[in-house]
Amino acid sequence: MAEIIYNISAIIALAGMIIALYRMVKGPSIADKAIALDVMTIISISLIVYIAAISQKIIYTDVALVYALISFIGVIAIARYLERGL
């Protein structure tokens, strides 16, 4: 029962990721695309931790931690590039 609810939650989060991907492809300005990329990154961090929990491999949560770090630095770099050039 609990595993089924976990799987349904992962499918709902994946549907949200597909919607954010549509906005990232279509988005009128660069800031739209950057925000959609940020949302996709956060949803994929959640899904990586989900995979780590259901496959009982603790090492996968380190992947999620490093991915969060890199995404934060990437968004800050995009914002700085938009504001005054690299």
Partner 1 sequence: MLMLIGSLITLIGSIFLFLGALGILRMPDVYNRMQAGTKATTLGTILFLAGLALGYSHCTCWPRILTLILFIVFTNPISSHALARAAHHIGINLTEKSVTDKLAEDEAENGEKL
Q: How far is the CB of 66 from partner 1 (least distance, A)?
A: 10
Give φ, ψ of 13 to 5 degrees. Answer: -65, -35
> Which tokens belong to 85?
């050039």
Q: How far is the CB of 7 from partner 1 (least distance, A)?
A: 9
CB atoms within 10 A of CB 21: 14
On whether the CB atoms of residues 69 and 41 are closer than 8 A, the answer is no
Q: How far is the CB of 48 from partner 1 (least distance, A)?
A: 10
Q: State the residues that interact with partner 1 by CB under 8 A.
A: 1-3, 5-6, 8-10, 12-13, 15-17, 19-20, 22-23, 29, 31-32, 34-36, 38-39, 42-43, 45-46, 49-50, 52-54, 56, 58, 61-62, 64-65, 68-69, 72, 75-76, 78-80, 82-83
Helices (H), 1-86: 2-26, 30-54, 59-84
